[in-house]
Amino acid sequence: MDGLSTLDEDNEDWGIEMVLAVLRASTKLDELELTLAPATQERLDAHLEANAMAAGRRFDFERALDNLALFGSASHLPSRLAWVLVKGGPEPEEVTWLERRRPPTLTDEETEELRNDARTLPLVKRFVSEVLPFSRTNYDPAVSSLLLRLAPGIEAAFWDALDTVARPGGPNENIEAIVAGACGGASPDFDRAIARFAQSMAEAGDWMEKEHAEETRQAEEHEVNAVAADQILEEPGDRYYNAQTGMTAVVKLRRVHDGIAWITDHPDRQLLISAAAELIGQSRRAPEPGELRLLISVAENWTRNAVWRAVKQHWQTDLADLLTAELAKCDLDGGMRGTLIEIAALKANEGSDPVPLLAEVAQRVAPERQLELVYDLMRTSLDGDGHGEPGLAARRARAERLSDGLPDELAELGRLLAALLAGAEIRSSAEELSKPARVSLSSLLTTVAPEVAGPLLCAGAVIGLDSTATARRLLATGDADDGVAAVQALLIDGRAAAKAVQRRR
């Protein structure tokens, strides 16, 4: 290698390239260490530096940085910088599920020396713009803090990288580290980052409504092959991933600076509430007192689901009044209702029995919501229920205990609903209903939630109730389970009007 390095003339570099190739090959052999002559190492350092400075595409640049870190000398500043960028500090002793490349610890003298070198700024700029958004290496956000110290003035490069990862469906690597760099410094511009990720979410939403709707229909109707259908159905998650991850990263940083009270008056508060709820829900550490209560007070629609999922992860007794109020609400979606049942079990502490709380709530709500509570108990598995028949029996027992506390005719309907969801035979179960319960069932079928109406409609068809109006309502939801229940009820009904509804569909 020492000989090869002396053979290059003028602009030729084949000799030093051969030296580099031998060094690369030597890394594959254990217990082999090659020591170059000082002049050879000096020529190699210059060659590696030139390659890094002139590298074209981002893949070439990342490879050039890797070579510079591995084969440059310790006295060569660009090589030391490359080691900081692509190799980082020593491996941590603790084992974690998510491994991250952490920055090395530099002395003040080392930091000053690298910062004052003219080659540091251009290399760091390219690393931020061309490596961080694309590299499979997972960089710890602390890397960004070090880069800001080594190369003052690279904030613009971080904002360019943030714009790159904010694009829907764009590269999605190291988003948290990029946000940390863009929002670093003494006066971080959090609102600029929030606005960019909010714009990305709006673009993804616009795409969902205009372009993806027809593709989804084709996938669901099997007009494309299975592989294409899977890609179509998974694409929305990819479109939203970058913006959601970035928004969560911004909230994480700003929460350290300002808490979360600022979210309540922010124009993008619903997106921020969702991000804050995800951040709290994913953390093992309990949130600060008042954080969850504040989020619940301003969350709307789909973001409330996210906040209550976070409450489930970090139940706090001072939220009991909010839980009771939420359980008493109508028009909650099924997923939200199941989460509330699980939280009610957490509130119960010993025994994890949510029935006493639900019985208290049932006294304050309309009959439709009372039957929803019975339905939710049947559909929600709690810790300790077990699987299969034992689990089903435990859920049915809870649902029947709640039903027993309802007014007479509603108690009958609650027990009927629990029996049907447990797989009981429809005809024998329905025929046990008293006359007042049948009158109540006929009235409630037009107003209860579709998922509750489905099994009860089949029972009503058995005892001669008109199934057509409720069947039309269930068919109009577009939900497969609702449609199956509607068709089953119409078949049980069997009258001309029921057959006409089937033919019209």
Domain ranges of the chain: 4-186
The rounded distance, in Å, linking the Cα atoms of 43 and 24 is 17
Confidence (pTM): 0.82
Question: Which has the minimum average pLDDT: 1-5, 64-68, 267-271, 455-459?
Answer: 1-5
Average of per-residue pLDDT across 147-175? 92
Top pLDDT among 243 and 218 is at 243
Top pLDDT among 352 and 144 is at 144
Sign of CA dihedral 46, 49, 55, 61: positive
Going by pLDDT thresholds of 50, 70 and 90, the confidence category of residue 440 is very high
Query: Minimal CA–CA distance to 502: which of 484, 479, 477, 478?
Result: 484
Burial class, 64, CB count within 10 angstroms (exposed 0-12 / middle 13-18 / buried 19+): buried
Kindly report, residue by residue over 99-121, the tens digit of the pLDDT. Answer: 778 888 899 999 999 999 999 99
**Can you say whether residue 283 is alpha, beta or left, with left for phi > 0 and alpha for psi between -120 and 50 degrees?**
beta
**HEC per residue, 365-431:** CCHHHHHHHHHHHHHCCCCCCCCHHHHHHHHHHHHHHHHHCCCHHHHHHHHHHHHHHCCCCHHHHHC
101 strand-pairing partners: 139
Could you count the other beta carbons within 10 Å of the beta carbon of residue 194? 22
The rounded distance, in Å, linking the Cα atoms of 505 and 64 is 64
Top pLDDT among 17 and 252 is at 252
Contact assessment for residue 296 and residue 304, using Cβ atoms and an 8 Å cutoff: yes
Residue 430 in this model has a pLDDT that exceeds 70? yes
Residue 303 has a pLDDT of: 92
Top pLDDT among 326 and 98 is at 326
- 362 vs 327, 365, 404, 453, CA distance in Å? 9, 5, 11, 18
Per-residue tokens: 223: 């007009």
Kindly report, residue by residue over 359-411, the tens digit of the pLDDT. Answer: 999 999 999 999 999 999 999 998 878 788 989 999 999 999 999 999 999 99
